[in-house]
Chain A
């Protein structure tokens, strides 16, 4: 069984500051890892994904994440926060054995940007 833990249901940063959203996973097989963003009243949009290639993954809107197997982590970062980054962020995992079972999501982190 696989699981995802996102530390901090709410994260608040100042505009221009570093954004760090934490994600730890548990999987019995090599995982595929995803970060999705959800803006109010919208569906989920893929930010980036890790599929066993480069451990540092760059995504849209200036976000990136690093896969660290030893720490079972896939934290999301952005060097400089923008007001438009305010949204809900979900980390998700699917195992390499089969994609048909869908994704396992974390509970989400609400990112608040202070002006």
Chain B
């Protein structure tokens, strides 16, 4: 079983609030990812990181930002939440397996509702 954790699991917040979604992994993986998943829809990559001090934007444009100060920690921040940010956010990590189809391990997700 993968050791990747996300907090909070559920969050209801008002428009305009700043929020940070936490993601931590204890596997020492270099690569970490954030995906956004709307109900009944596919996952879309919004951010990823190769390692410490590396952050990249994914395929889906997002108003969120990320940071990678420590290998095990990859938080996602929304400076001013809006109802359009309501979604499920999934964090994942993987080994640097020479880009040979490495497995991504997923956290349980954070369900965000912005009122």
Q: B99 near A49 (CB under 8 angstroms)?
A: no
A43-B106, A44-B106 known; A98-B42 Cβ under 8 A = no
Q: B43 near A90 (CB under 8 angstroms)?
A: yes
Instruction: Tell me which residues across on chain A come within 8 A of B41, comparing CB atoms.
Output: 107-108
- Would you give the shortest CB distance from B64 to chain A, in whole angstroms? 15
Q: Which residues of chain B in 26-68 are interfacial with respect to chain A, using CB atoms and an 8 Å cutoff?
A: 31, 33, 35, 40-45, 48, 50, 56, 58-59
Identity of the chain B residue whose Cβ is nearest the Cβ of A30 in the assembled complex: B101
Chain A contact surface mostly = loop
Q: B108 near A99 (CB under 8 angstroms)?
A: no
Interface range for B: 20 to 34
Please give 20 more A-B residue pairs, beta carbons under 8 A apart, in addition to A99-B97, A100-B31. A41-B9, A41-B108, A41-B109, A43-B106, A43-B107, A46-B103, A46-B105, A49-B103, A96-B99, A96-B100, A99-B94, A100-B50, A102-B35, A103-B43, A103-B45, A103-B104, A104-B59, A108-B40, A108-B41, A108-B42
Q: Write 15 A-B pairs (CB below 8 A) sorted by A numbering.
A: A4-B42, A32-B100, A43-B107, A43-B109, A46-B103, A49-B103, A94-B101, A96-B101, A99-B102, A100-B31, A100-B50, A102-B35, A102-B45, A103-B104, A108-B42
Chain B residues within CB distance 8 Å of chain A? 4, 6, 9, 31, 33, 35, 40-45, 48, 50, 56, 58-59, 90, 92, 94, 97, 99-109
